[in-house]
Amino acid sequence: MAEWSKAPDSSSGLRKRAWVRTPLLTFSYVFLFCKTYIGINFLVTPYLKKVFVVETA
């Protein structure tokens, strides 16, 4: 067998990683677009306050 046949198949691995990143980027772009251009701060801000609230005793 040739040496190159021992290497892992990189053609499928790169496609899988790119496919996983695409929905995440799409969500972030849509979120930023809605927040900036449509102005849904009144919907988003209360949710973010609930998620990122740090309670102190």
Give domain status of residue 2, yes or no: no
How far, in Å, are 5, 33, 45 from residue 25 at the CA level?
Answer: 34, 12, 21
pLDDT (tens digit per residue) in 2-50: 555 555 555 555 555 555 556 666 667 777 776 666 555 555 555 555 5
Give domain status of residue 4, yes or no: no
pLDDT of residue 43: 55
CA distance 33 to 35: 5
pLDDT of residue 35: 66
Closest CA to 26 of 37, 36, 18, 14: 18
Give domain status of residue 16, yes or no: no
- Tokens 């998620």 locate to 51
Single pTM value for the model: 0.26
- Which residues does 34 contact at the CB level (< 8 Å), separation at least 6? 40, 44
How many domains does one find in the chain? 1
Domain that holds residue 29: 21-56
